[in-house]
Structures are given as structure tokens and as C-alpha cells.
Amino acid sequence: MPEVYNWQLGRKMLYPYEERHPKWQFSFIFNINRCIACQTCSMADKSTWLFSKGQEYMWWNNVETKPYGGYPQFYDVKVAQLVEQVNPGGQVWNTRVGRKHHAPYGVFEGFTIFDAGAKIGQAAIGYIPTDQEWRFVNIYEDTATSMRAIVDGNDRSGFSAAEPWKTQGSSLPEHETFFFYLQRICNHCTYPGCLAACPRKAIYKRPEDGIVLIDQNRCRGYKKCVEQCPYKKPMYRGTTRVSEKCIACYPRVEGKDPLTGGEPMETRCMAACVGKIRLQGLVKVGEDGLWAEDRWSPQYYAIRVEQVALPLYPQWGTEPNGFYIPPRHSPRGYIRQMFGPGVDNAIDRYIVPSRELLAVLQLWRTTQQILFRYDVIPGPKVFETQIHGRKFEMYNDTVLGFNKSGKEVVRIQVEEPIYIRPAERVTWL
């Protein structure tokens, strides 16, 4: 099996195909801290692509409550257990080594799904969920638990009168009792498990933007993509006997929607987000397969410069192109196993953001056009305080966002203005 370089792992890994990379890569950032689980994104996606017969259980975009929610149920726990069985006790990170660009989180010394698959004669390790596991997209929604309940394996509520430590409430910076919302679409991975697994070679990664698609004419419904995608985002459609998955609303990304006049546009789930938690982008890919340095791209800045956004389960080895600002109040041990060893740095930078990061964070969900570049116009200092013993100063800077053609499409201040309706224009009941 060939070897490819995975910058999220900081090392080479096994993959069934030789290393190839697109010119641009579709990517996105979700800010978990802002999500209210309104499911507007899920319904926007559902009403656009998944309203036909045989697609009733398909949710290409879903928001699940962690730690117990999941669609399909317990997909992440089961994948982790499968890898652990092949490499018991070896799923560890070495954070003492690594380079800023080639290994920003250190080096993962365990097995990826491809390493584990090679040990048992498969392209990647995986499983096919049962029908029962697909039944409830919102299972365990808003179900809180305590970290100690997870470690001790006690119960799923985390509350008991006989165990006072579970009812003591929470304190900063980590909450003992917690839950958070995890937003998920296809990660359009650099090394997709679904692509590696397909015996028909019906799955491909577009060279122009890195979007991963299934050729419906070649697919024969063997479900290998369902089995070996660790995130379980390809889904089998019984009425047509082929698999389907998130297509990243590629007509919008191509600029086909007349609303933007030919400019690349955000996907439906991104554009519909009520909580303003989403930022979509297209990042440049260099000849070496790594992200080309693009300092003034909001995606590159947040992910590679500030490192405030992290990949989901990077240890699985697919190099996902979906990134998350981790939940700031959740127990560190739990979210490290989800987002890797960069969690502490990411949360610290989010809680006490730099002046530039605070400005860039204002760009989340401000326009339907994909932003390729930003600029910051300095403003006056408007606030000063201490956060966890660290000095924080807030400046009312103005941040500008530019589309692919270099045209300014958004201009917003850090301190949003308040408009008071004049008396003559009051809306009377």
C-alpha cells in the first residue's frame, strides 16, 4: 500500500492510492461555542437535496448532542473500538516533536483506519451500522452527563442524590456536568475512507475544489463506502440501490447561483445558519500537497496561524477538511480524544483572543459569498478586563471580507452598532 503525508498526523501513513491533491480545497470551520442546535442547517439541507423517496433517513447535515448523541448512534465509539482492538494501547500522540507547518499538533504514533485495515486485509477498518442505529437523528439531544460518570461508567444522566459530586454544579474553566452540540457534514477528506474502499472506483475527489462525490452511474450499492467512512456520511438508498452523500452544494461553490453573479457561494447548510457558527472557504493547495501559505485567508488564518480550529478525530487518518473551534467549557480529556492535542491551545486562544482573531471571528456567517481574503482597519480601544488572570483589550476594529474576484462583500465592526428606531417610525400594535 502506498504512503502519503498527512499534516494533521505529522507523518506519513498508508493509503490505497498514490498521493494526489486538488488545486483548491473545500473547507469549513464550525464554532461549537455558538451553536444553539436549532437544526436550521439540517432542514435547509434536507429540503434542498433529500426530500425524495428512499431518502427519508438521510441527513447529510446533522447536529448531534455529545457525548451520547450520534448519527448513526455511537459511530465514533465503535470506530475507535475497532482500531483499538487492532492496536491496543497504542493510540497516542507525541507532542514533543513536530514542526509548525508540517506537524502542527505533534506526531500521532497510533494506527489510522488505513493502518488498522492493512493489518486485517482491508482498505480501511470499519463497520456497517444497523437499521436501528439510523433511526433517530436527534437521539440523546440535550442529554447532559458528568465526566466522572463517563470515566466510571455509571449512568447516562450523571445525576444521583447518593453521589453529591454529581450535583455540585459547574465551575470554570471546565464544567463537571456538560453536553455540547456537534455539527457534521461530509468532511470532503484529503484521504477519504469512502474513496479508498469503493471496489467500483465510483467515488472521486474533484481536482478543482477537492469536493468528494459518488458517480451514481458507476455505483452498485456494495456499501463499502458506508462501512469504511469513519464519519458515516455516505448513506445507502434502498430505492435506487446506490449510495449518496453530501455534495457540498457544488453548483453554489462553482458560482452557478445567479444571486452571487458567478462568485463562489456558501453551501445551503452554511448560508442558513442562525447562530452564525459557520465559515466556509476554498484554500490553496501547494505542489507538496500541504496548504499553501495564504496569510490573509480567514480559513488559513484561523486554522494554520492561530490554530483555533481543529479537525474532528484527526487520528483516523482521513485528513478531514472540516474544522471546529472546540467547546470551551467541556472537560479537556473528552474533547482531546475528539480533536487531538491542539485543544488546550485552541481554547486558550479563543477565550482570550488576539486583536486580529477577534476581528476575524466577526466574519462568520456575514455573507453568502465565500470569503478568500480579509483586511482589518484599526479602531479605538473600547473595553479592557481580566479573563482567567490574563489581560484582555477590545478594540472596535473594522474587518473587511473579499470574494474570489477581490471585491469587498462585507464590512463589519467588532462592536456591532445599536440602532434605535425613531419615535415617528415605531411599529404600533
Report the pLDDT value the prediction gives residue 155, as an integer from 0 to 100: 52
Report the pLDDT value the prediction gives residue 377, as an integer from 0 to 100: 98
- Alpha helices in 185-295, H assignment, sequence order: 193-197, 224-228, 250-253, 268-271
Place of cell 477519504: 192
Tell me the pLDDT of the chain (429 aa) as tens digits.
899 999 999 999 999 999 999 999 999 999 999 999 999 999 999 999 999 999 999 999 999 999 999 999 999 999 999 999 999 999 999 998 867 778 999 999 999 999 999 999 999 999 999 999 999 999 999 998 877 767 666 554 444 555 544 555 556 678 878 999 999 999 999 999 999 999 999 999 999 999 999 999 999 999 999 999 999 999 999 999 999 999 999 999 999 999 999 999 999 999 999 999 999 999 999 988 999 999 999 999 999 999 999 999 999 999 999 999 999 999 999 999 999 999 999 999 999 999 999 999 999 999 999 999 999 999 999 999 999 889 999 999 999 999 999 999 999 999 988 888 888 777 665
Q: 3-class DSSP state for residue 327? A: coil
To the nearest 10°, report the CA torsion of 238, 242, 243, 247: -120
Round to whole Å and give the CA distance between 216 and 243: 8
Round to whole Å and give the CA distance between 80 and 300: 29
> In this structure, are residues 6 and 12 in contact, taking their beta carbons and an 8 Å threshold?
yes
Quick one: cell of 348? 486558550
> In this structure, are residues 223 and 243 in contact, taking their beta carbons and an 8 Å threshold?
yes
Phi, psi for residue 402 in degrees, rounded to 5: -125, 145
- Alpha helices in 180-310, H assignment, sequence order: 193-197, 224-228, 250-253, 268-271, 298-300
Query: What is the pTM assigned to this prediction?
Result: 0.94
Quick one: cell of 78? 465503535
Report the pLDDT value the prediction gives residue 195, as an integer from 0 to 100: 98
> In this structure, are residues 14 and 121 in contact, taking their beta carbons and an 8 Å threshold?
no
Q: Which amino acid, 26?
A: F
Helix (H) or strand (E) holding 41: helix 40-49
Phi, psi for residue 113 in degrees, rounded to 5: -65, -25
- Radius of gyration (C-alpha) of the chain in whole angstroms: 22
Place of cell 497516542: 92
